[in-house]
Amino acid sequence: MIEFAVCLPVFLLIAMGTIETCRMIYLRQSLKVAAYECARLAIVPEVTVADLQDQCDVLLMGRNISNYTLHCTPADPSTLNYGEIFITTVEAPASENALVGSWIYGSSTVSESVSIMMEY
């Protein structure tokens, strides 16, 4: 019983740390995928910012990511000419997407961005 009482908290701490680390890796990868897919969509002619937001919503809501934001540089992809760079950045608060809550991450934000060159 004494060994169980000593080992159980250590085991639970290691298990929760592993799960939380995997959740943050999943969050970063999900944001990267969303940023990439939005960037690829942005270089299609006549795409609007609303189309990009819809694409981001489909990807991240399906992965249960909450309170994310999409930023585009330049703000309107239709103004790009061939060879110009378009940047999409997707951000999400770590604490709102964590399993254990905000006491580990505080107010930190996870952000991923993708740069892509405008095609024909």
Mean pLDDT taken over the chain: 90
The per-residue pLDDT for range 31-56, each reduced to its tens digit, is: 999 999 999 999 888 888 999 999 99
Do 48 and 72 touch, CB atoms closer than 8 A?
no
- Domain range annotation of the chain: 2-117
Residue 98: pLDDT band (50, 70, 90) is: confident
Alpha carbon distances (Å) from 30 to 61, 65, 90, 103 = 10, 8, 10, 22
